[in-house]
């Protein structure tokens, strides 16, 4: 019997006064709200929450629906984590590191500066115990969460002047918040905070000297090449950035097991989809921003080493004072060591050769 036919039969049974089979009761009507941390203009980021909602509805014949709201429509981005924890909304699609000020541990489910790339993060999440470790912490906050998107490696940002040595960061007013900002302070940076919509004006007026956002596809929409032409890479503070679908734990636990499984599966599907989406659109977006005036620049090895040393200083300080942070950090670092042994055996030589051929015009 088809699923729709079955539910029709169950309705008829209920009308006759007979007991409804247990399987029908296991597929109740459930309606949730999910707040996104992103505006609906960002199809890669906001679109991931919409896709998750679609997968859940499709898998339950419309019995489990999740209405998605853009940032600020019902909950501001800065309050999304607390809103889910308290149960004022059932779900959020956001980045855990937005809330690292509550506890530095929340940085690590999103990214570790000089940590894993997107593939490495997924390996750690799904097979290295990462999801279990993250949820052991999330659960103490009243939240259950699953990876639901990754941007891949991000760009280092837009600069009004060239950055050639670590000394060039001294006194630099850099739109960069959170954990990365704490690290960059050790390099002399003065972190600034501006919403994405205000970055262009702040750079144009000289209120800030530099700004980082995501990568060429999202950055290109801001038109920053006109006011800060030097576009640096890589964003070593975000070699990958994982987003999470977060659910209120009490409401998640009250769901039928099948619905819980569907949420997990939908989150994993969205996780794969987002990085594929970014890998697709950034291939043409990088050419578009260069055509618009962006001058690509690589951070020098000297700058990367200074960033690496500053990162390790901050990690050591936080590990000494926060046991949860130290536990997650050790797990990531232990896996990172072995992961990059494997990456240099086959992946790096293969990609290096292909890049050389592409640059030579053979591809």
Nearest to 202 by CA among 249, 158, 168: 158
Pairing of strands 210-211, 173-175: parallel
Pairing of strands 242-248, 143-150: antiparallel
Give the per-residue pLDDT at 234: 97
For residue 22, pLDDT beyond 50: no
Strand-pairing partners, residue 92, are: 35, 246
For residue 208, pLDDT beyond 90: yes
Q: Please report which confidence band the pLDDT of residue 316 belongs to, taking 50, 70 and 90 as the band edges.
A: very high
What is the C-alpha to C-alpha distance for residues 40 and 24, in angstroms, rounded to an integer? Answer: 36
- Average pLDDT on 89-98 reads 97
Where do the H-state alpha helices sit in 26-106?
Answer: 46-59, 80-86
Give the per-residue pLDDT at 295: 98
What is the C-alpha to C-alpha distance for residues 309 and 289, in angstroms, rounded to an integer? Answer: 31
Give the per-residue pLDDT at 332: 98
Give the per-residue pLDDT at 37: 96
Please give the C-alpha separations between residue 103 and each of 97, 106, 180, 325, in angstroms, as whole numbers.
9, 6, 15, 8
CATH topology for 157-238+293-336 is D-Maltodextrin-Binding Protein; domain 2 (3.40.190)
Q: Please report which confidence band the pLDDT of residue 338 belongs to, taking 50, 70 and 90 as the band edges.
A: very high
What is the C-alpha to C-alpha distance for residues 51 and 38, in angstroms, rounded to an integer? Answer: 14
Residue 26 has a CB neighbour count (10 Å cut-off) of 11
Give the per-residue pLDDT at 25: 60
Burial readout 73-108 (b: 16 or more C-beta within 10 A, e: otherwise): ebbebebbbbbbbeeebbbbbbbbbbbbeeebbbbb
What is the C-alpha to C-alpha distance for residues 209 and 229, in angstroms, rounded to an integer? Answer: 11
Q: Please report which confidence band the pLDDT of residue 18 belongs to, taking 50, 70 and 90 as the band edges.
A: very low
Give the gyration radius of the chain's Cα atoms. Answer: 23
The domain segmentation of the chain, as residue ranges, is 27-150+240-280, 157-238+293-336
Domains 27-150+240-280 and 157-238+293-336 share a fold: yes
Residue 167 has a CB neighbour count (10 Å cut-off) of 12
Please give the C-alpha separations between residue 224 and each of 214, 242, 293, 363, in angstroms, as whole numbers.
12, 24, 9, 30
Give the per-residue pLDDT at 5: 39
Q: pLDDT for 158-200, tens place per residue?
A: 999 999 999 999 999 999 988 999 999 999 999 998 888 899 9
Give the per-residue pLDDT at 27: 86
Which 8-state DSSP code applies to residue 239?
A: S
Average pLDDT, the chain: 93
Q: pLDDT for 276-285, tens place per residue?
A: 999 999 999 9
CATH topology for 27-150+240-280 is D-Maltodextrin-Binding Protein; domain 2 (3.40.190)
What is the C-alpha to C-alpha distance for residues 89 and 251, in angstroms, rounded to an integer? Answer: 10
What is the C-alpha to C-alpha distance for residues 7 and 9, in angstroms, rounded to an integer? Answer: 5
For residue 24, pLDDT beyond 80: no
What is the C-alpha to C-alpha distance for residues 56 and 69, in angstroms, rounded to an integer? Answer: 16
In this structure, of 192-201, 294-303, 348-357, the range with the lowest mean pLDDT score is 192-201
What is the C-alpha to C-alpha distance for residues 268 and 243, in angstroms, rounded to an integer? Answer: 11
Q: pLDDT for 216-265, tens place per residue?
A: 999 999 999 999 999 999 999 999 999 999 999 999 999 999 999 999 99
Structure tokens at 339: 């992961």
Q: Please report which confidence band the pLDDT of residue 4 belongs to, taking 50, 70 and 90 as the band edges.
A: very low
Q: Please report which confidence band the pLDDT of residue 9 belongs to, taking 50, 70 and 90 as the band edges.
A: very low
What is the C-alpha to C-alpha distance for residues 216 and 210, in angstroms, rounded to an integer? Answer: 15
- Average pLDDT on 301-329 reads 98
Give the per-residue pLDDT at 23: 47
């Amino acid at each position: 019997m088809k699923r729709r036919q079955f539910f029709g039969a169950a309705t008829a049974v209920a009308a006759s006064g007979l007991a409804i089979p247990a399987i029908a009761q296991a597929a109740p009507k459930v309606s949730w709200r999910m707040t996104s941390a992103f505006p609906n203009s960002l199809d890669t980021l906001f679109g991931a929450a919409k896709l998750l909602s679609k997968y859940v509805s499709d898998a339950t014949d419309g019995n489990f629906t999740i209405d998605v709201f853009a940032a600020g429509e019902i909950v501001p981005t800065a309050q999304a984590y607390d809103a889910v924890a308290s149960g004022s909304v059932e779900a959020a699609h956001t980045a855990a590191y937005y809330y690292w000020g509550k506890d530095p541990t929340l940085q690590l489910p999103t990214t570790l500066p000089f940590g894993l790339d997107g593939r490495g993060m997924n390996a750690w999440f799904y097979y290295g115990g990462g999801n279990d470790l993250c949820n052991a912490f999330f659960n103490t906050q009243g939240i259950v969460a699953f990876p639901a998107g990754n941007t891949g490696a991000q760009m280092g940002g837009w600069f009004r002047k060239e950055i050639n040595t670590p000394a060039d960061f001294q006194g630099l007013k850099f739109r960069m918040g959170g954990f990365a900002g704490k690290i960059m302070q050790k390099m002399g940076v003065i972190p600034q905070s501006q919403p994405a919509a205000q970055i262009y004006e702040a750079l144009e007026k000289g209120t800030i000297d530099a700004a980082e956002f995501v990568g060429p596809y999202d950055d290109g929409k801001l038109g920053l090449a006109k006011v800060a032409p030097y576009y640096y890479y890589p964003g070593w503070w975000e070699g990958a950035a994982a987003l999470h679908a977060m659910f209120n734990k009490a409401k998640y636990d009250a769901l039928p097991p099948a619905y819980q499984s569907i949420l997990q599966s939908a989150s994993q599907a969205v996780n794969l989809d987002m990085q594929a989406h970014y890998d697709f659109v950034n291939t043409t977006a990088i050419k578009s921003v260069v055509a618009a005036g962006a001058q690509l620049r690589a951070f020098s090895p000297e700058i990367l080493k200074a960033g690496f040393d500053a990162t390790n200083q901050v990690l050591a300080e936080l590990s000494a004072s926060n046991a949860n942070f130290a536990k997650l950090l050790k797990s990531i670092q232990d896996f990172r060591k072995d992961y990059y042994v494997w990456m240099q055996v086959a992946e790096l030589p293969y990609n290096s050769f292909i890049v050389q051929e592409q640059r030579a015009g053979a591809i």
